[in-house]
Amino acid sequence: MASPTDNTTAPRPTVPPAAPPSPPPQPAEGLASAAQVEQLADQLSACADNIHARVMRDINRYHGADVPETEKGAARALLEAEAELRQRANRLYTDAAACVVSGLGQPQQHLMALTADAAAKIAHITRIGDSITLVARLLGLAAAASTGQALLVLGAIDRLRAQLGVIALENAPPTTAPPSSA
């Protein structure tokens, strides 16, 4: 069932001769996509379910009485076949999962870029807050100036100078790439 064109490396599932008939073979090109790999795995799992049901039917015929050793042997062999089928199916589920993630590089990258841009925007908004503070300091200065009280004016000038310094720092051209929030 594996073909040169599919991207899975799952070995052919093996079924021991005593097992019930295996599922019909899949077309070679049918394994190309994750969905189809998953479908094959579903079929293998269903087959395992059938084997289990068959084994239980045989055991329950004895209604709690001792089961002869030969029957036990056959049942255990079938149980092992069922377990192997389930492992093969799980391998295919993993292959399908790998298909799912392998196609995702671009959307994920784009989303990360978008998030980084948004983080930069958020930082910018913080600076608008600085503008408000600047306005506040200007007004503080204006208010202080109207009182004619020298100390108050000096204090207001200091605060204004500090605020301008903060803004200059933040507006300085970055020497490295802007930080992202990731």
Partner 1 sequence: MNIRRLPVLFLLAASLALGGCAAPGHVNLVQVRDFADASARLGGYGELARRYRDTYEREQPYLSPAVDRIAKENDARRRAIYDDFVSIQKSVVLYMQTLSVLAGDARYDLSDRIDDLGNGLKANADSGLQQKQITAYTGLTRLITRVIASGYQSRSVETMVRDGDADVQVLLEAMMALTRLYAKTNENEKKTVLGVFDVEIPFSPRTSDRMLVTLAKVHYLSKATEYKLIDKRYDMALQGLAKVAKGHQTMRENLNNLSGDDVRKMLAAYGRDLRDIRDGLSN
Which residues, numbered 63-102, are part of the site for partner 1 (CB under 8 A)?
A: 64, 66-67, 72, 75-76, 79-80, 82-84, 86-91, 93-94, 96-98, 100-101
The answer to whether 93 touches 41, Cβ cutoff 8 Å, is yes
- Nearest distance from residue 160's CB to partner 1, in Å? 10
Q: Site map for partner 1, 123-142, x if CB under 8 A?
A: --xx-xx-xxx-xxxxxx-x
The answer to whether 13 touches 43, Cβ cutoff 8 Å, is no
Q: Which of residues 5-44 bind partner 1 (CB under 8 A)?
A: 34, 38, 41-42
Structure tokens at 81: 């076949």
Q: Is 3 in the site for partner 1 (CB under 8 A)?
A: no
Q: Site map for partner 1, 152-171, x if CB under 8 A?
A: x--xx---------------
The answer to whether 86 touches 47, Cβ cutoff 8 Å, is no
Query: Toward partner 1, which CB reaches closer, 26 or 133?
Result: 133
The answer to whether 133 touches 114, Cβ cutoff 8 Å, is no
Residues in the chain: 182
**Alpha carbons 158 and 144: distance in angstroms, whole number:** 12
